[in-house]
């Protein structure tokens, strides 16, 4: 994936060198000579990845990284810190600040390119999701991006695939401080485990006895159930080439042995945060989509859903031959409830009414709020007799117990009138059937309310 890489360094020759290297690999580059400019470029959404020098006058690299990772607008941009120092303490400070990786000067080309490509590819997949989330924020549905900065990355369920007992014990011991760890030495068993239990992350040893750990990684990346689970490879120095291949096909990160305990914790945390952010975005999208067909006040389906669903039920020949009944329910004198007790009490009555209707219908029935105080129930596979029975039961249960409102300080007696109709062979669309139910409802109202009436036979 090509991408725009932002190079942040206060020394021009360093910028120039990285620009040349990345340009030859067909990356687009931008440069910033200080932290402020870098942050501004990121906030404008002008880059896909940041290569960030640590030692800069003014704001140093750690501070810039923290700033980017704490802002919902920029938290999703991968940051690779570049420095002359090869001190574990510095690596750790960078990772703690939220950096996605750490490269040491002079920068090794293979390591640089494979890491940049891998991060850019992973970002391309979540970008689509992020764009939809930004749209949902524009529509005033909520702000899922704020979740990105709130997530701690702790308390994760981790699968450690490692067959050296000493190493497994050491790693699991460290991780158990903050996470729940399952150790599995056998790669086949691990594959089954991962497909069945929802792990937040897997650590995979590349040197399993008699098995290529990288193949396990590729299988985990290919299976539907595990392909979004972050993977971290555990590698020896001589595995460098395989590490690059792993990054290339979608493994998220790696740790070189002997594994530094703090680096382990930091890299695991980063991956868990990223995974949970993606999940939160997916969840928010799902919720937004669901909202489009749910009535906010009662939690029933809304009229949009009802109309779509009736369209399907009347759409094709086969569906049209099946039995189908409908009820239209209208709360009696609802206006009076609003006028006497106020709108809030009216809303409480509507919610309580919806709940009772739901309780006394079958799971296959569709209950939808049709308008103000009107509810429609679609009863598949029900004839007139059964529909009348259900309607009568609802009418009776509404009348039997008054509704409690205003923090249970008052009760309101409520009754409901119901019109019933069944589908006829000549009905071409749902409106034909609904019209008969509506007429029946009208007769129920005219005959004194608190009644069930059915379509003319």
Interacting residues toward a second copy by CB under 8 A: 1-4, 26-28, 45, 48, 121, 124-129, 132, 135-136, 139-142, 214-215, 217-219, 221-222, 224, 245, 249-250, 282, 285-286, 288-293, 296-297, 302-305, 307-309, 312, 335, 339, 342-343, 346-347, 371-373, 438, 442, 445
Of 261 and 358, CB closest to a second copy: 358
Q: Residue 51: which region, alpha, beta or left (left: phi > 0; alpha: psi -120 to 50)? A: beta
Of 58 and 372, CB closest to a second copy: 372
Answer for the pair 328, 434: CB distance below 8 angstroms, yes or no: yes
Answer for the pair 92, 266: CB distance below 8 angstroms, yes or no: yes
Of 104 and 219, CB closest to a second copy: 219
Please report how close the Cβ of residue 249 comes to a second copy at its closest, in angstroms: 4
Please report how close the Cβ of residue 51 comes to a second copy at its closest, in angstroms: 15
CB-based burial of residue 292 (10 Å sphere; 0-12 exposed, 13-18 middle, 19+ buried)?
A: exposed
CA dihedral 33, 149, 77, 129 (to 10 degrees): -150
Please report how close the Cβ of residue 126 comes to a second copy at its closest, in angstroms: 8
CA atoms of 235 and 229, how far apart (whole Å): 19
Active site (annotated) includes residue 162 = no
Please report how close the Cβ of residue 261 comes to a second copy at its closest, in angstroms: 29
Of 54 and 368, CB closest to a second copy: 368
Angle between helix 240-248 and 213-222 (nearest 10): 10
Structure tokens at 227: 């392909």
CA atoms of 86 and 406, how far apart (whole Å): 66
Catalytic residue among 162, 184, 348, 373: 373
CA atoms of 348 and 91, how far apart (whole Å): 57
Please report how close the Cβ of residue 293 comes to a second copy at its closest, in angstroms: 5
Cβ neighbours, 10 Å, residue 154? 13
CA atoms of 286 and 282, how far apart (whole Å): 6
Looking at residue 154, what DSSP letter applies?
-
Answer for the pair 453, 419: CB distance below 8 angstroms, yes or no: yes
Of 62 and 370, CB closest to a second copy: 370
Of 231 and 265, CB closest to a second copy: 231
Of 125 and 189, CB closest to a second copy: 125
> Position of tokens 């750990």?
213
Backbone angles phi, psi at 409, to 5 degrees: -85, -20
Of 174 and 337, CB closest to a second copy: 337
Answer for the pair 71, 27: CB distance below 8 angstroms, yes or no: no
Q: Is the Cα dihedral 44, 50, 55, 60 positive or negative?
A: positive
The angle formed by the CA atoms of residues 256, 262 and 268, to the nearest 5 degrees, is: 75
CA atoms of 198 and 109, how far apart (whole Å): 36
Please report how close the Cβ of residue 121 comes to a second copy at its closest, in angstroms: 7
DSSP letters spanning 13-29: HHHHHHHHHHHHTT-EE
For the chain, give me the number of helices (H) and strands (E)?
17, 17
SS3 state at 33: coil
Q: Which residues of 123-135 are buried (b: 16+ CB within 10 A; e: fewer)?
A: beebeebbebbee
Please report how close the Cβ of residue 141 comes to a second copy at its closest, in angstroms: 6
Please report how close the Cβ of residue 204 comes to a second copy at its closest, in angstroms: 13
Of 133 and 175, CB closest to a second copy: 133
Please report how close the Cβ of residue 305 comes to a second copy at its closest, in angstroms: 5
Answer for the pair 330, 373: CB distance below 8 angstroms, yes or no: yes
Q: Give the active site residues.
A: 373
């Amino acid at each position: 994936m090509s991408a725009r890489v932002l190079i942040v360094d206060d020394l021009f020759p360093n910028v120039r060198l990285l620009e040349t290297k990345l340009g030859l690999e067909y990356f687009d580059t931008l440069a910033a000579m200080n932290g402020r400019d870098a942050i501004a470029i990121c906030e404008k959404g002008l880059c896909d990845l940041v290569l960030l020098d640590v030692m800069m006058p003014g704001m140093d690299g750690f501070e810039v990284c923290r700033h980017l990772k704490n802002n919902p607008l920029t938290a999703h941009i991968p940051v690779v810190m570049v420095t002359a120092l090869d001190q574990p303490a510095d690596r750790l400070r960078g990772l703690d600040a939220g950096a996605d990786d750490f490269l040491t000067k002079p920068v090794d080309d293979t390591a640089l390119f494979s890491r940049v490509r891998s991060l850019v590819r992973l970002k391309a997949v979540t970008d689509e999701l992020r764009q939809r989330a930004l749209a949902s924020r524009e529509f005033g549905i909520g702000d899922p991006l704020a979740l990105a900065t709130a997530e701690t990355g702790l308390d994760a369920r981790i699968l450690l695939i490692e067959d050296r007992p000493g190493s497994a014990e050491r790693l699991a011991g460290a991780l158990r401080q903050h996470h729940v760890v399952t150790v599995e030495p056998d790669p086949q068993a691990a594959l089954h485990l991962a497909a069945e239990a929802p792990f937040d992350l897997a650590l995979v040893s590349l040197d399993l006895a008699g098995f290529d750990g990288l193949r396990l990684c590729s299988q985990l990346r290919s299976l539907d159930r595990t392909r979004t689970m972050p993977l971290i490879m555990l590698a020896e120095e001589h595995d460098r080439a395989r590490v690059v291949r792993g990054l290339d096909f979608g493994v998220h990160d790696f740790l070189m042995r002997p594994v530094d305990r703090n680096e382990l914790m930091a890299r695991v945390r980063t991956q868990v945060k990223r995974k949970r952010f993606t999940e939160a975005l997916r969840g928010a999208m799902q919720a937004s989509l669901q909202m489009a067909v749910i009535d906010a006040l009662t939690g029933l389906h809304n009229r949009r859903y009802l109309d779509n669903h009736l369209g399907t039920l009347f759409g094709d020949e086969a569906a049209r031959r099946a039995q189908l009944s409908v009820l239209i329910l209208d709360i009696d004198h609802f206006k009076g409830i609003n006028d006497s007790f106020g709108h809030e009490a009216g809303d409480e009555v509507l919610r309580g009414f919806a709940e009772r209707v739901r309780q006394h219908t079958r799971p296959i029935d569709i209950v939808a709020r049709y308008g103000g105080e009107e509810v429609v129930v679609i009863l598949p596979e029900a004839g007139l007799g059964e529909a009348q029975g259900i309607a009568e039961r609802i009418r009776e249960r509404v009348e039997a117990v008054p509704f409690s409102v205003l923090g249970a300080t008052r009760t309101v007696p409520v009754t409901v009138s119901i019109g019933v109709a069944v589908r006829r062979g000549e009905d071409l669309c749902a409106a034909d059937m609904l019209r008969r139910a509506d007429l029946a409802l009208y007769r129920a109202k005219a005959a004194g309310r608190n009644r069930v009436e059915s379509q003319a036979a």
